[in-house]
C-alpha cells in the first residue's frame, strides 16, 4: 500500500497549480535560409557519404539470398527494391549471378539519376541490362510483367523507408500492394529499428574511414523530434568533414515510429500468412554482430535494428 500512497502523493503534487511559464516568442513562419557550405563540405557528395556510412549492399543481398533459399529451398532470382533511391542493392543483386534480375522503384528522380551515374555504370553491360530502375509510387506500382511474369520472388523495403506512411490504412494499402506483386511463394523483406533511443532526443556520432585520411568524415544521426501521442518522429543526417565543415540536414526524414507488433499485425491483415523477426546477435561489446536469426523475443536495449520477413 505504501507504493499507492506515494503514487497518490505524487499525483496530487503533479496537479497542484503552478505559475504559468512566460510565453515564448512565436516562431517565424519563414524558415531561415540554409547556410552556404564551406570547405570540404562544399565539395562533398551527400549520396556518396550516405552510401559509405549507412548502406552495406553486400550484406543486405546476402541476407535476402540466404534467407529466401532457407525458406523456399530454391534461389530467389527476381527482386524489387522499393524506395530504392540510388538502387545499390538492385545493382548488387544483378552483379552476383547471371540469372538475377532486379527492379528499383522510387518516386524521387534525383537519387535515381545519381544511382544511374554512379552505381549502375559500375556494372558490366550484361549486368546493367538486368537492372531496371523505375519511377513510380509504391502505393500504385507498375506491374512490370515483362520482368516478373509470375510475380517477384522478393520485395525489399529497407532503411525504414516505409515509415513515411503514418496512417494504418495507408500502410495496409502498401503491404497489400506488395502481397499482390509477389510470386505465389514470394517473400517480403523489411527492416525496422527500436529501443529507448527511438523515443528520445539524441544524436549518434560515428567516424567513417581512417582518421587523418583524405576520406575521413563523421556521420551524425540526429533523432531530432518525437511526439508520443501521434508517434511522429523527425530524424536527420548530418556529415562533419575532417576540416570541421558540416553538411547539416543532408537528409531529413518525417516518419511515424512503428513498433514490431504493429507491423506484424498489419502484415497479417494484408494477407501474409507468417511474419518472423530476425534479431541481431550480440557482439559482446554492447553492439550487434551482424548475424540475424529468427526470434520470438528480443532484448530490452537502447537501440536495435532487425529484419522482418513476411511470407506470402
Cα 154 to Cα 133: distance, rounded to the nearest angstrom: 16
pLDDT in the model for residue 205? 96
**Measured distance CA(180)–CA(141) in Å, rounded:** 10
How do 217-226 and 232-241 pair as beta strands?
antiparallel
The verdict on 115 and 218 lying in the same domain is no
On whether both 228 and 287 belong to a single domain, the answer is no
CATH code assigned at 123: 3.40.50.150
Please give the average per-residue pLDDT across 151-159, as a whole number: 97
The crossing angle, in degrees rounded to 10, of helices 46-54 and 109-118 is 80
Read off the pLDDT band of 30 (50, 70, 90).
low
Residue 25 reports pLDDT greater than 80: no
CA distances from 25 to 14, 18, 249 (A): 26, 21, 25
Beta bridge partners of 156: 81, 189
Domain end marker among 231, 255, 279 = 255
- Given this model, what pLDDT does residue 37 score? 84
Residue 79 pLDDT > 80, yes or no? yes
Do 189 and 60 lie in a common domain? Answer: yes
Count of structural domains, the chain: 2
pLDDT interval class at 283 (50, 70, 90): confident
Q: What is the mean pLDDT of residues 16-31?
A: 40
Sheet with 182-194: strands ordered across: 131-135, 101-106, 78-82, 152-157, 182-194, 304-311, 274-282, 288-295
212 and 102, same structural domain?
A: no
Burial of 14 (0-12, 13-18, 19+ CB in 10 A): exposed
Note whether 182 and 295 are same-domain residues.
Answer: yes
Domain extent for 204: 197-255
206 and 301 belong to one structural domain:
no
| Amino acid 19: pLDDT | 40
Please report which confidence band the pLDDT of residue 33 belongs to, taking 50, 70 and 90 as the band edges.
low
Confidence of residue 282 (pLDDT cuts 50, 70, 90): confident
Q: What is the pLDDT of residue 32?
A: 53
Locus of grid cell 549471378: 97
Question: Does the residue 90 lie in any domain?
Answer: yes
Per-residue pLDDT, averaged over 87-98, amounts to 98
pLDDT, the chain, mean: 90
End-of-domain residue from the set 255, 273, 302: 255
What separation in angstroms does the CA of 139 have from each of 8, 60, 89, 107, 295? 49, 23, 21, 10, 30
Q: For a pLDDT cut of 90, what percent of the chain falls above it?
A: 81
Q: What average pLDDT score do residues 28-39 get?
A: 64
pLDDT at position 23, please? Answer: 38
Query: What's the CA gap between 251 and 235, in Å, rounded?
Result: 8
How sure is the predictor about 188, in pLDDT bands with cuts at 50, 70 and 90?
Answer: very high
Residues 107, 224, single domain; the answer is no
Q: Do the beta carbons of residue 282 and residue 269 sit within 8 Å?
A: no
Same domain, 174 and 277: yes
pLDDT in tens, 105-153: 999 999 999 999 999 999 999 999 999 999 999 999 999 999 999 999 9
Does some domain include residue 247? Answer: yes
209 lies in the same domain as 231: yes
Do 245 and 108 reside in the same domain of the chain?
A: no
Asked if residue 161 belongs to a domain, the reply is yes
In a domain, 248, yes or no: yes
pLDDT at 158: 97
Which of 222, 239, 255 is the endpoint of a domain?
255
Domain co-membership, 228 together with 92: no
In the three-class reduction of DSSP (H, G, I as helix; E, B as strand; rest coil), residue 310 is classed as: strand
Residue 95 and residue 31 in contact, taking contact as beta carbons nearer than 8 Å: no
Question: Does the pLDDT at position 76 exceed 70?
Answer: yes
Instruction: Determine the Cα–Cα distance for residues 115 and 299; give it in Å rounded to an integer.
Output: 37
pLDDT classification of 270: cutoffs 50, 70, 90: very high
Question: Between 199 and 287, where is the model more confident?
Answer: 199
Q: Is 104 strand, coil or helix?
A: strand
In a domain, 7, yes or no: no
The verdict on 91 and 240 lying in the same domain is no
Q: Which residue has the higher pLDDT, 22 or 205?
A: 205
User: Does a structural domain hold residue 187?
Assistant: yes
Amino acid at each position: 500500500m505504501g507504493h499507492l500512497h506515494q503514487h497518490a502523493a505524487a499525483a496530487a503534487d503533479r496537479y497542484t497549480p503552478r505559475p504559468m511559464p512566460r510565453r515564448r516568442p512565436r516562431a517565424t513562419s519563414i524558415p531561415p535560409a540554409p547556410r552556404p557550405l564551406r570547405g570540404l563540405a562544399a565539395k562533398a557528395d551527400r549520396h556518396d557519404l550516405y552510401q559509405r556510412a549507412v548502406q552495406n549492399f553486400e550484406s543486405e543481398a546476402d541476407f535476402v539470398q540466404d534467407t529466401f533459399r532457407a525458406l523456399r529451398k530454391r534461389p530467389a532470382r527476381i527482386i524489387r527494391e522499393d524506395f530504392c533511391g540510388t538502387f545499390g542493392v538492385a545493382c548488387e543483386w544483378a552483379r552476383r549471378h547471371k540469372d538475377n534480375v532486379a527492379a528499383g522503384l522510387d518516386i524521387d528522380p534525383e537519387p535515381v539519376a545519381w544511382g544511374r551515374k554512379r552505381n549502375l555504370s559500375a556494372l558490366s553491360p550484361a549486368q546493367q541490362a538486368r537492372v531496371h530502375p523505375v519511377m513510380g509510387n509504391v502505393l500504385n506500382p507498375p506491374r512490370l510483367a515483362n520482368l516478373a511474369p509470375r510475380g517477384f520472388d522478393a520485395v525489399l523495403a529497407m532503411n525504414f523507408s516505409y515509415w513515411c506512411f503514418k496512417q494504418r490504412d495507408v500502410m495496409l494499402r502498401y503491404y497489400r500492394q506488395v502481397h499482390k506483386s509477389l510470386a505465389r511463394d514470394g517473400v517480403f523483406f523489411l527492416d525496422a529499428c527500436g529501443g529507448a533511443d527511438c523515443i528520445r532526443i539524441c544524436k549518434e556520432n560515428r567516424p567513417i574511414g581512417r582518421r587523418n585520411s583524405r576520406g575521413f568524415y563523421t556521420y551524425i544521426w540526429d533523432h531530432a523530434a518525437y511526439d508520443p501521442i501521434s508517434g511522429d518522429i523527425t530524424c536527420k543526417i548530418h556529415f562533419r568533414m575532417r576540416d570541421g565543415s558540416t553538411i547539416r540536414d543532408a537528409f531529413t526524414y518525417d516518419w511515424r515510429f512503428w513498433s514490431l507488433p504493429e507491423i506484424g499485425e498489419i502484415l497479417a491483415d494484408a494477407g501474409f500468412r507468417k511474419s518472423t523477426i530476425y534479431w541481431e546477435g550480440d557482439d559482446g561489446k554492447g553492439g550487434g554482430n551482424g548475424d540475424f536469426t529468427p526470434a520470438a523475443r528480443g532484448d530490452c536495449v537502447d537501440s536495435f535494428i532487425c529484419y522482418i520477413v513476411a511470407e506470402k
